[in-house]
Structure 1
Amino acid sequence: MASVKQVQITFDCAKPERVARFWCEVLGYVVPPPPAGFATWDDYTRTLPPEKQDASFVCSDPAGEGPRLYFQRVPEGKVAKNRVHLDVRVGTGLVGEERLAVLQAECARLVALGAVRDQVLLADEENESCINMRDIEGNEFCLD
């Protein structure tokens, strides 16, 4: 049986760089350096044919531990609930009011970046609290 070495998460979106930079802020990710021979990504982009300009963008975990995120421009807008979403794990190991306070503080930070808070799901007998959110293009994610 083959073993998986790496996973890349791909986002379909209208404005790849904008969405990528949002997720860099959310996750503490970075934009990798531009290709060799180019001082900036803008310099590189200008060398591409018009239909390829601003068509994709990438960000990655500076520690090399998390998956690479790839953002690709698509012509259609988001029309339905995501079948897959990210859980941003900011409350790991916390419970009760302490967990909820950490989740709410992170929610406020992300709303300031352009995210939208959808719903706070309070702890019950099976699950701890989490907050359902949407990124700047409407993709669902959870603060967990």
Structure 2
Amino acid sequence: MNINGFEFPEDLLYYPEEHVWIKIEGDIITVGITSLGQYMAGKIFEVSTKNKGEKINSRSVIFTLESAKWVGKFRLPLEGEIVEVNEAVIKNPALLNDNPYEAWIVKVKGVYDDKKLKKIDEVSKLFEAESSRVVR
């Protein structure tokens, strides 16, 4: 779905409070930032994550993104263990700006709060309002 020039694939789930997309494959949860999220952050120059093997819960900072104008610490409604970190994104954070839906950040083996993760049709109005506010 295209919202004010920002793509939101319909096969993903979204955690709109953090502008994060989630892909569920069995008990593996892949996490990345939305096209609107990366636009709002600006040019991302650093990504740091929990390490592979670390346990996480909804209070854990799973990853941090840094740009010239912003530092974001991401806590998500997930519980489990980090099973993979996208080393390509750690080495080249600009991949998040170039293609946010290919450049995932971490993969978690665990469970998620399905009441807090939404399909795009449930949050499209929110993303539409927010994108209208930030795009000049």
Compare CA radii of gyration and give the structure with the larger one. Answer: 1
More strand by share: 2
TM-score (norm 2): 0.27
Greater relative contact order structure (CA < 8 Å, 6+ sep): 2
